Amino acid sequence: MAAEAKMTPMMAQYHEIKAQYPDAFLFYRLGDFYEMFFDDALKAAKILEITLTSRNKKADNPIPMCGVPYHSAKDYIKRLIESGNKVAICEQVEDPKLTKGMVKREVVQVITPGTLIEEEALEVKENNYLVALRQEGQTFYLAAIDVSTGEIKVTQTPRPAQLFSELYALKPSEMVVDSSLDTEVKDQINQQLAIYLSSFDLTDQTEVGTQWVLDQASPQEASLLNLLLAYLYSIQKQALGHLQPVVRYALADYLQMNHFAKSQLELTKSLRTGRKKGSLLWLIDHTKTAMGGRMLHQWLEKPLIDEGILRQRHQQVAQLMSAYFERLDLIAAFETVYDLERLVTRISLGTAHARDVDHLRQSLGQIPHINRILDGLNASQNQVLFEGLPDFQELYQLIDTVLADEPPISVTEGNIIRSGYHEELDQYRDALANGHQWLAELQQRERDRTGLKTLKVGYNKVFGYYIEMSRLQSANFDDPRYIRKQTLSNAERFITEELKQLETTILGAQEKATQLEYQLFTELRQAIAAYTGQLQTLASQIASLDVLANFASLSEREDYCQPELVAEAKSFQLEASRHPALEKLIGKAAFVPNDFVLLPDQPLLLLTGPNMSGKSTYMRQIAFCVILNQIGCFVPAKSAKLPIVDKIFTRIGASDDISSGQSTFMVEMMETNVALREATPRSLLLFDEIGRGTATFDGMALAEAILYYLAQEVQAATVFSTHYHELTDLSTKLPVLRNIHVGATEQKGQVVFLHKILEGAADKSYGIHVAKLAGLPQSLLVQSQEVLQELESNSQWLRRQEPESDGQLSLFDLPATKPSPKVLREDQEQVLKQLAALDINQLTPLQALEGLAAMQDQLK
Ligand code: ADP
Ligand code: MG
């Protein structure tokens, strides 16, 4: 308490402000520094690696303190935000020179992860979303805003799983929730998604900028948007004039994939690194503009199911692909189109500098050229395949008359306004130019007068204009007009009355000119801000052209084909399809293309083949073809006929899936459950080795039961891969099931994978061959071969014994005449049972060896 009593007025003010922003680092402005105190200081010093000092060092309780210079604060703020924090900027809002006592301070802006607009803080080709979530009854309402582009959208879903998948797709950097949200939901979001949560409640006084428009917003949507915008207002402290009209979307209007499927397919990020590199997006993204890159990302997160739009996109890609030179022209034009969405945001918020406006001018300057190219593309088709861009020449002219060519970034140092635009500015500039002339003349006159040929007139920011001569010259120099100004080690500087007058004129003109330039620039910026909405539309038109041209180039370079959309569900025909990433990795020559034929009367494909033969690869490439088709791109195949798929369920293991312990059997079963329950006849199911994660017998039992369920209940297009080649017998009982397998042959006892998909069932599983490839000891391999032969000769017996032992029905229908079992010793029987129960896929070589040794011991 004693400390409080002694608290200085400044610390009292600090505490008062800090209390309003408990969850943010408070950057408290003191002179040229932002200072932090107490806990903020302790934490920030660590994160920013800056020196921790203290205030009132001599007092009993010194206050921990650290600070950053205000001119380099940006970098520090960025680092705090990146490590998941908020920063509240507290400025002096009165001029200290005019104030007696404490200067008034206020928080002028709060910077949070989800509300960044600074160009340097954002990924160019990524959106940065702030989302708001509310739950009303059973329904979740979700709104997402990218403050840097002005995009706002809302959706709703009654299903938590769908909500989570959508959150994974949006990858928001911050979420606003009010106290009405269930704590359980909040906790789950915290644990699973690790999104930065900001709690905020609407009060009656909360001011909301009501620029947003959503036709027929429901009361729930309205309160959600209110929450989002009120929160934004509370931290930005200014109305946001650049927000686009709110878009409502339904999750069912897009190809549905949950986040498990997306992450297993590595659509937008690599499983291993979590980064874009290595993902499908990375592979196909060669867009030229930032907004094109963001749009492609959005398309890939949400492929379409709308046949009309897809047909149009395919047609556009085809046309761009065939019109080679036009496409190159178009792509070249996009090189000079800047990030219009974010530019417009900065212009509207008044933070754009002169270089930004120049970038806008250059971008707009491309429009006539782009439109000529589009005209050409349309003319050769005799139809309007590509809608022209609005021409914006009025705005272009406006900018071009005002803004100088190649202006500097700074808006306070002049040279940003074109000469001839403003009379008064031109006069100042004349004065400046003349001033330079006058200075040159003055220098000449003084040289003549004094006879000192090296005397010169110079300028220095601190001392202003001066006449300089060497120390030697000044030693014998005596002229009452010359007033000594500054002494250097080898020179002497003077001023004269005449020079002083010139200085006043020149510097006055300079200052007035820069002030005027700044004012004219702000006026220009405001004038451009009036075009915000139209420019945002332009940005999205250019973005989609960029993506389509990118599809065309990709398809040409990688030899993709235009898919034909077929109306009938469950009717797929891919001729010589390829895995787009693997073929790039190993080269076109090494990759073996495969057909994929699935027809409505036999929609259930059972895919067998040894480990490492290419089952997972095949299933992935099918998924990629379907997805690429449904974002409007061509597909990696020689020819393709594809239906529009409404949902994709995948359970595709990465090659190191099991060993890395990434997927537990439980997760696998949960995903299977979702797929079986939610698939429709238009869905595509890709099940890779379901049941592999548990012991052989119950894994196989589950796999068989799932196949029955798929055949009888689900009836969606399905590829089901398994290494249990015993399951292939099911085709005799399930007419909708067709066997296919990946070919492998043996050459001189070595297995050779052909990676070729063939009709029919695989004849064996080649497990021991794979073990051989992996380099297991020769003696072990020989022994396992012997055990296998023994097992195979007893297999019928084994199959019968196991289920009967616990009185269950037989898993596999056995021939009516059962072979009479060999009589075995009890220890032999034990060993065989142990062997049968082994899950070879889960064993390390060492475990296998030890196991074998133990079995051998038992038999001795
Ligand atoms: P499986 O799922 O059957 O165990 P994968 O699909 O994981 O096998 O493939 C194993 C490896 O085989 C891949 O990493 C790849 O190098 C190679 N492979 C798979 N399919 C092909 C193909 N069509 N052409 C060439 N190599 C392939
Ligand atoms: Mg596999």
User: How much is the pLDDT for 577?
Assistant: 98
Average pLDDT, the chain: 88
Q: What is the CATH number of domain 124-251?
A: 3.30.420.110
Nearest-atom index, ligand 1, CA of 585: 16
Binding residues: 609-616
CB-based contacts of 722, cutoff 8 Å, min separation 6: 606, 607, 608, 689, 690, 691, 692, 703
Indicate whether residue 85 lines ligand 1 (CB < 6 A). Answer: no
User: How much is the pLDDT for 829?
Assistant: 75
Among candidates 264, 357, 349, which has minimal Cα distance to 623? 264
Q: Are 129 and 145 in contact (CB under 8 A)?
A: yes
> Following DSSP, what letter does each residue of 263-325 receive, concatenated?
HHHTSSS-TTT-SSTTSHHHHH---SSHHHHHHHHHHHHS-B--HHHHHHHHHHHHHHHH-HH
pLDDT tens for residues 116-142?
A: 888 778 889 999 999 999 999 999 999
Fold of 423-519: MutS, DNA mismatch repair protein; Chain A, domain 3 (1.10.1420)
pTM of the predicted structure, to 2 decimals = 0.83
User: How much is the pLDDT for 205?
Assistant: 60
Task: Return the CATH number of 564-784, one of 2.60.120.10, 3.40.50.300, 3.30.70.360, 3.30.390.30.
Answer: 3.40.50.300
Mutating to test ligand 1, I would choose from 582, 617, 769 the residue with most ligand atoms within 8 A of its C-beta, which is: 617
Rounded to the nearest 5°, which phi and psi values hold at 291?
-75, -25
Mutating to test ligand 1, I would choose from 578, 586, 612, 621 the residue with most ligand atoms within 8 A of its C-beta, which is: 612
Residue nearest to atom 13 of ligand 1 (CA): 614
- Please indicate whether the domains covering 264-385+521-558 and 423-519 agree at the CATH topology level: yes
Gap from CA of 87 to ligand 2 centroid (Å): 47
Which ligand is located closest to the Cα atom of residue 742? Answer: 1
Tell me the HSE value of 460 on the side-chain side, using a 13 A CA sphere.
11
Indicate whether residue 20 lines ligand 1 (CB < 6 A). Answer: no
Gap from CA of 767 to ligand 1 centroid (Å): 15
SS (H, E, C) 229-272: HHHHHHHHCCCCCCCCCCEECCHHHECECCHHHHHHHCCCCCCC
Distance CA 374, CA 344 (A): 24
Ion ligand 2, residue ranges at CB < 5 A: 615-616
Indicate whether residue 655 lines ligand 1 (CB < 6 A). Answer: yes
- As given in the structure block, the two tokens for residue 783 are 């022994």
Q: What is the CATH number of domain 264-385+521-558?
A: 1.10.1420.10
Indicate whether residue 157 lines ligand 1 (CB < 6 A). Answer: no
Indicate whether residue 772 lines ligand 1 (CB < 6 A). Answer: no
CA 519 and chain centroid, separation:
38
Rounded to the nearest 5°, which phi and psi values hold at 203?
-115, 170
CB-based contacts of 448, cutoff 8 Å, min separation 6: none
Indicate whether residue 591 lines ligand 1 (CB < 6 A). Answer: yes
Distance CA 374, CA 545 (A): 10
Mutating to test ligand 1, I would choose from 725, 755, 756, 773 the residue with most ligand atoms within 8 A of its C-beta, which is: 755
Question: Helix crossing, 290-301 with 615-631: angle to 10°?
Answer: 120
Give, in order, the Cα–Cα distances in Å from 114 to each of 121, 228, 231, 349. Answer: 11, 11, 11, 17
Gap from CA of 619 to ligand 2 centroid (Å): 9
Gap from CA of 834 to ligand 1 centroid (Å): 31
Residue nearest to atom 4 of ligand 1 (CA): 612
- Domain residue ranges of the chain, discontinuous segments joined by +: 9-111, 124-251, 264-385+521-558, 423-519, 564-784
Residue nearest to atom 15 of ligand 1 (CA): 614
CATH class of 9-111: alpha beta
Indicate whether residue 616 lines ligand 1 (CB < 6 A). Answer: yes
Gap from CA of 822 to ligand 2 centroid (Å): 37
Indicate whether residue 614 lines ligand 1 (CB < 6 A). Answer: yes
Gap from CA of 656 to ligand 1 centroid (Å): 13
Binding residues for ATP: 609-616
Indicate whether residue 765 lines ligand 1 (CB < 6 A). Answer: no
Gap from CA of 582 to ligand 1 centroid (Å): 9
User: How much is the pLDDT for 603?
Assistant: 96
pLDDT tens for residues 504-544?
A: 888 889 899 999 999 999 999 999 999 999 999 999 999 99
Indicate whether residue 757 lines ligand 1 (CB < 6 A). Answer: no
Considering only CA atoms, give the Rg of the chain.
37
Q: Which amino acid belongs to residue 700?
A: M
Indicate whether residue 578 lines ligand 1 (CB < 6 A). Answer: no
CA 446 and chain centroid, separation:
66
Residue nearest to atom 5 of ligand 1 (CA): 614
Q: For the chain, how many residues are written?
A: 860
Low-confidence ranges of the chain (pLDDT < 70): 1-6, 204-213, 653-664, 749, 764-765, 792, 794-824
Indicate whether residue 613 lines ligand 1 (CB < 6 A). Answer: yes
Indicate whether residue 592 lines ligand 1 (CB < 6 A). Answer: yes
Distance CA 637, CA 574 (A): 6
Q: Is 836 exposed, middle or buried (0-12, 13-18, 19+ CB in 10 A)?
A: middle
Q: Tell me which H or E stretch contains 722.
A: strand 717-722
Question: Helix crossing, 38-48 with 73-82: angle to 10°?
Answer: 90
Gap from CA of 607 to ligand 2 centroid (Å): 11
Gap from CA of 616 to ligand 2 centroid (Å): 4
> Following DSSP, what letter does each residue of 40-83 receive, concatenated?
HHHHHHHHHT---EEESTTSSSPEEEEEEEGGGHHHHHHHHHHT
